Amino acid sequence: VAKMLAVVNYSAKPESVELREVSVPEIGPTDVLLRVGAVGVCGSDVHQWKGRQSWKVKYPCVLGHEFCGTVATNGSRVHTVKEGDRVVSETAAVINQDSPFAHEGRYNIDPSRKGFGYGTDGAMATYVAVPERCLHKLPDNLPFDVAALTEPACVAFSAVCVNTRIVPGDLVVVIGPGPIGLLCAALAKFNGAGTVIMLGLPSDKERLELACSLGADAVLDGEVSDRLNSYGDGYGADIVIDAAGVSATLKTALEVARPGAHITKVGWGSQPIGFSLDLLVQKAISLQGSFSHTWKTWERVISLLESGKLPVDKLISRTAPLELWHDCFEGMHNGTYVKAVLRPGD
């Protein structure tokens, strides 16, 4: 069996990730073998490296779910792509096609869904096996580095444009200037928001500047509730998108939301929260979770990337070969890099 290099998460213990030589994956009749062109490092990859994730992981598992590449080999029943095609992949590697959610086209929330990089081997490797149904063709003008950001852009699109209804002129607050939050700010502006305010920590200074270059009208750090009163009519945000990687920011979201507002939570955080939800009740706020994405969102986002209207390349702090995975994970973990992208072909 042919061998390849892969970044493998081999146990639940913290820092159990290493570059290993593993077998090139086998493919079934409806899969393709994809030669990986680029794969983004996600906050969730870093969570798994640190052993702090709240989801079930199979061990060992090749990390990486934000990827694109070139079709190397087709399974016998694959007919929509051919060898040599440049494609980007969705993340729902395993779904129950007979579940009610799949029938509704909402396979992203099928409880039996397994994603690349935790439920099945991911793309931080020379090759990855991918079901044909996950693939979308890439326009020629999108380089792999940039196309690797399609997935986080789809997460943001789903949160802001599918699970939230923004009305033109809305005051939108986005919490957390990570890659998802930054993309949410850009998409909120596209979607008609009157004013977009990005909230972060004082240590997020550079990211908050990046938020402005992506469309945010203002950025705030530290204690924000009082200062937010100078925006709009002073009653708070119509919409809050909570994209921080902790659960506790829901408290800030409830504080900055106006009565009758809508909050969409898209950031994960396994730490329990220790505050009352009375504001949710008192302000009659609607709280919506947002997870993953579906086919139509991918096609929309790819066309946005092709048009250059969503400049995701601004988020890329570092591209590196697979061998430098540790530096990329460390840089994402300590906040030096907004987004690192690995290029297994380099």
Residues that bind Zn ion (CB under 5 A): 42
**What is the nearest approach in angstroms of Zn ion to the Cβ of residue 158?**
12
Please report how close the Cβ of residue 152 comes to Zn ion at its closest, in angstroms.
6
Q: Which residue is nearest to Zn ion (CB)?
A: 42
Q: What is the bridge-based pairing of β-strands 17-23 and 114-115?
A: unpaired
Residue 130 or 257: the one with the smaller Cβ distance to Zn ion is: 130
Query: CA dist 26 to 3, 68, 121, Å?
Result: 12, 18, 11
Report how far residue 313's alpha carbon sits from residue 69's, in angstroms, rounded to the nearest whole number. Answer: 17
- CB closer to Zn ion out of 240 and 266: 266
In the complex, the smallest distance separating the C-beta of residue 45 from Zn ion, rounded to whole angstroms, is 7
**Closest approach of Cβ 232 to Zn ion, in Å?**
32
Whether 121 and 62 have beta carbons less than 8 Å apart is answered as yes
Provide, rounded to whole angstroms, the least separation between the CB of residue 131 and Zn ion: 18
Kindly give the interhelix angle for 150-157 and 295-307, rounded to the nearest 10 degrees: 120
CA 316 to each of CA 66, 75, 92, 319: distance values in angstroms, whole numbers, following the listed order = 13, 33, 24, 7
Whichever of 255 and 330 has its CB closer to Zn ion, that residue is: 330
C-alpha closest to that of 65 among 161, 159, 163, 134: 134
Phi, psi torsion values for 167, nearest 5 degrees: -100, 140
Task: Name the residue nearer to Zn ion (CB basis): 42 or 199.
Answer: 42
Taking the least distance from each CB to Zn ion, the nearer of 291 and 295 is 291
